[in-house]
A and B are shown apart, each in its own frame.
Chain A
Amino acid sequence: AQKITQTQPGMFVQEKEAVTLDCTYDTSDPSYGLFWYKQPSSGEMIFLIYQGSYDQQNATEGRYSLNFQKARKSANLVISASQLGDSAMYFCAMREGGSTGGFKTIFGAGTRLFVKA
């Protein structure tokens, strides 16, 4: 069965410092995708970064990078140079399937990040 685990309910980081948000996953499907989304207090989920299971290099998007360790089944999000606007909920999600045309996506419980000035 699919499973996504985010063990950090809340994290604090000083402005301009880097922070790592943890995510572990469990799947038996060799083809899967991992996503991180940001949900500010306004409620709208915003896509941040994607890592495919066959990708050789870790994904990066601006200040976001994904530390993908396939053998450990972890996909941690690293935010560099934190900004006050980074304060939000962050969700890790996994998509598997697709061989029959249907992808299944599940989300973790989320980590709330607080950036301190």
Chain B
Amino acid sequence: EAGVAQSPRYKIIEKRQSVAFWCNPISGHATLYWYQQILGQGPKLLIQFQNNGVVDDSQLPKDRFSAERLKGVDSTLKIQPAKLEDSAVYLCASSFRGQGGEQYFGPGTRLTVT
């Protein structure tokens, strides 16, 4: 079974530029999560989708971050414009609702904003 795929793996941009990350969850997983992990900290949930509907985006900085999950499969997370404090690893995870709830993570995208 293929795992969660993410791209790109690394991205360096200047502040005020925009960037987009892509995630493809495990086939059949209805729930998809985007996390931000700042160096030395635990992951912080940005947004959670159930199929293609948003379940929780309470910690998403909506003035600059946006995310969508079209057709309930792939998802993209966008930052526009980026700030220095957005430098972090962005993790995508998926889970199959009703199976204990463990999440399966992708390799992450390391974003550096200069």
Q: Which residues of A contact B (CB under 8 A)?
A: 4, 33, 35, 37, 42-47, 50, 52, 91, 93, 95, 101-110
Contact = CB atoms under 8 A, between A and B. Distances in A.
A101 B100 contact: no
B106 A44 contact: yes
Given A35-B102, A44-B105, A44-B108, A105 B50 contact: no
Nearest to A95: B101
A101 B42 contact: no
Q: Is the interface of A mostly helix, strand, loop or mixed?
A: strand
B43 A101 contact: no
Contacts of B41: 109-110
B72 interface: no
Contacts of B55: 101-103
A33 B50 contact: no
A107 B103 contact: no
B42 A102 contact: no
Nearest to B109: A43
